[in-house]
Copies of this chain bind each other. A is one copy, B any other.
């Protein structure tokens, strides 16, 4: 038998990749399994959706990132069932992986609050394919409006709604407004893209609810300045191919984007443990599955207490969980005492709104506007993986800043959805 323990990590996002890297010097055999071939820098995904960056700018092949780490085998494939008793992960290909320790970090997907019929009309943003589908819809809406003669239909084509006022919704709405007001200026002959309506719909009382109230108010003001109509306090009650209903008001809109609900990846169901409303797994303080110290859950898939609150579903939290799982495993395989329970270290909270507008909350030090935007930009480019990506992203942004142009305005693929 193989004396070296086999660690299977399902999911190559921030949690999985950080755990893998932190096990570089450990005497383990790691198999990192992911449905795609790449690690995705999700915080910039909205830039691909809004044609500011191209897909390869924010993604890198997992096996390239890990090429030097000899104890890792990267596999592209999909886990379908976890058999806790046999300690085996079943793959869609028919193969199976047996493990001594398992880490599940497959993240989250969109959730439509029980309204799955909204899904084809309001695509969400979690993968590069999602981003390219949103890009295609947004650019195609302007193209169709240019050819449309019926004024009502044209207005509907030029109405864009984003559901959900969290960071992703705010970023999408702010950037859509910038595209309409600036990027596409003077490029159309029959329509004025600047007349497009961009609505941001938040059922709760304010946008960016996880930020201090003063910053939420600043963000709402900056959104308004960019031309976004912010509607808070009223839930969306219906979405179809022609528009949506907000409270008792019907709005005709051909493009509705979903940035509201997330649900944990369905793989969690095969763990046969109680899940919370969003499908996440409540874990022990050391991120293991109750009763199964050999199974770890990390990233957006895990519900972890953080004082009165929960650890937020953000990239730094996923990285910290990944590194923590690696620490636990290293100690365990070296027969050393287990580290103290996982503690989330909050470095602050950033959200960008659009050109020269962002809000930053660093442990009580709050700022917004131009300086916050520069801070956000530097932080994000700094954390991007890969030298080339950083250079190209900076170049794209410098060009976009000076010219208002967006370099990835290319419609790819055919829209196989309802419109």
Which residues on A are within 8 Å of B, measured CB to CB? 36-38, 54-57, 59, 61, 63-64, 67-68, 72-77, 93, 95, 128-129, 132, 139-140, 143-144, 146-147, 186-190, 387-389, 391-392, 395-396, 399, 405, 407-414
Contact = CB atoms under 8 A, between A and B. Distances in A.
A129 B412 contact: yes
Given A392-B395, A395-B395, 20 more contacts: A37-B139, A37-B140, A37-B410, A38-B409, A38-B410, A54-B55, A55-B410, A56-B407, A56-B409, A63-B187, A64-B405, A72-B189, A73-B189, A74-B146, A76-B146, A76-B147, A388-B396, A388-B405, A388-B407, A391-B395
25 contacts: A37-B139, A38-B409, A54-B57, A55-B412, A56-B407, A56-B409, A61-B409, A63-B187, A63-B188, A64-B187, A64-B405, A67-B186, A72-B189, A73-B146, A73-B190, A74-B187, A75-B146, A76-B147, A128-B410, A129-B412, A387-B399, A388-B396, A392-B407, A395-B395, A412-B412
Contacts of A74: 146, 187, 189
Assembly of this chain: how many copies? 2
Given A67-B186, A412-B132, A147 B56 contact: no
A149 B410 CA distance: 40
Residue among A61, A76, A77 facing the most chain B CB atoms (10 A cut-off)? A61
Contacts of A132: 412-413
A64 B182 CA distance: 12
Contact of A392 (B61, B93, B392, B409): B392
Nearest to A76: B143
B128 A412 contact: yes
A93 B157 CA distance: 15
Contacts of A407: 56, 388-389, 392
Nearest to A59: B410
Contacts of A73: 146, 189-190
Given A63-B188, A412-B128, A147 B37 contact: no
Contacts of A56: 54, 407-410
